[in-house]
Amino acid sequence: MTDAMLDVGLHERRRARRMQDRSYRAAYEQAARELAQTDAVIQELDALRVDLGMSKAELARRVNRNASSVRRLFTASQVRPELPLIVALADALGAELRIVRRQEDTRPRAGKGRRGERIAAAS
Amino acid sequence: MPSRGRRQRRGPLGRDPSGNLPWDVIYCAEPDGTVPALAFLDSCPSTIDAQFTAILDAVAAAPPPRFSGGGKWEAMHGAMGGWYEIRLTGPGREQFRLFCLLENGTSEELAKRGLRRCAIAVITGMRKPWRTTFSDRDYQRVRDLGDDYRRQHPRRIAT
């Protein structure tokens, strides 16, 4: 049986080769970070729902949505997660979303004045 | 017996909670050896290629029916039912699509296809300007590639 198995390593090899290009690597890593965050939010909401023993239909009722829209959200079937729906689901599950600054953020920062304005606007 | 609704303890992000291995990512090859999906990816801007790869990796790590792929991995409907697409927007709002099939089933079924485990089969890709649509003929070409691919035992893939 082993002899008949196909070599499926091309994807890994291609990725490794392409990652040697700095701009490709940067784009890949940025995309991976963004995907991980979105996936973590949705998967955590679904885990909370399961923890509470709440069906998708019940959760949908609590946020005044069709059961199918919530089902599609949790199974990645035709979804573009919308923030208002995510927030509503979190609230219905007794949770909330937060933005947390990464401890080691290596991205370039905006100028001091601009950052100061933002802080002032937020306080 | 576990109580209903008890959360299954999950490992690090990207691991299947059932303990299943992540899926493989494979590329359909045509009889003459050309690989439409790789030809497409190679023709994309580097950043788009990188994003497609990152999404494939995310979905392979947490395969359907779980949510993964950041909302950019979607099940298709209608005539494309059974297909999945990755949808990306590039420079100038150009639209990029990668079309995939799922290779899942029992271990015996997978073995007949030459696969050790489940996989995402990347079939081909297409691009179009913003606010235009692919024609029925375009989608038919995608389906034809997929139909031919699924007739092969073992699968004809790029190695």
pLDDT digits (tens, 9 = 90+) for A69-95: 888 888 866 667 889 999 999 999 999
pLDDT digits (tens, 9 = 90+) for B107-122: 999 999 999 999 999 9
Q: Chain A: residue nearest B111 by CA?
A: A5
- Considering only the beta carbons, identify the residue of A8, A39, A47 that sits closest to B70: A39
Averaged pLDDT score across all residues of chain B: 88
Domains for chain A: give ranges and CATH numbers.
Answer: 37-100 (1.10.260.40)
pLDDT digits over B40-61, tens only?
A: 999 999 999 999 999 999 999 9
The pLDDT tens digits of the residues spanning A17-48 come to 999 999 999 999 999 999 999 999 999 999 99
Q: Please tell me if residue B126 touches chain A, with a CB cutoff of 8 Å.
A: no
Q: State the helix-helix crossing angle for A10-18 and A22-51, rounded to 10 degrees.
A: 120
Size of interface A-B (CB pairs under 8 A): 141
CA distance B137 to chain A (A): 22
What is the pLDDT confidence band of residue B12, given thresholds at 50, 70 and 90? very low
Scanning every residue of chain B, which has its alpha carbon at the shortest distance from the alpha carbon of A73? B67
Task: Tell if the CB–CB gap between A76 and B50 is shorter than 8 Å.
Answer: no
User: Which member of A6, A7, A28 has the closest CB to residue B50?
Assistant: A28
**Could A28 and B51 be called an inter-chain contact, meaning their C-beta atoms sit closer than 8 Å?**
yes
What pLDDT is recorded for position B98? 98
The pLDDT of A44-55, averaged and rounded, is: 95
Distance from CA of A36 to the nearest CA of B (A): 7
Q: Is the pTM of this model over 0.95?
A: no
Distance of alpha carbon B101 from alpha carbon A8, whole angstroms: 15
The nearest CA of chain A is from the CA of B47 a distance in Å of 5
**From the candidates B53, B152, B157, which should be mutated to test the interface with A, based on the most A CB atoms within 10 A?**
B53
Report how far apart, in Å, the C-alpha atoms of A55 and of each of A58, A72, B64, B113 are.
5, 13, 19, 37
Cβ within 8 Å of residue B68, ≥6 positions away? A35, A39, A43, A76, B58, B59, B61, B62
Q: Is it the case that residue B132 has pLDDT exceeding 90?
A: yes
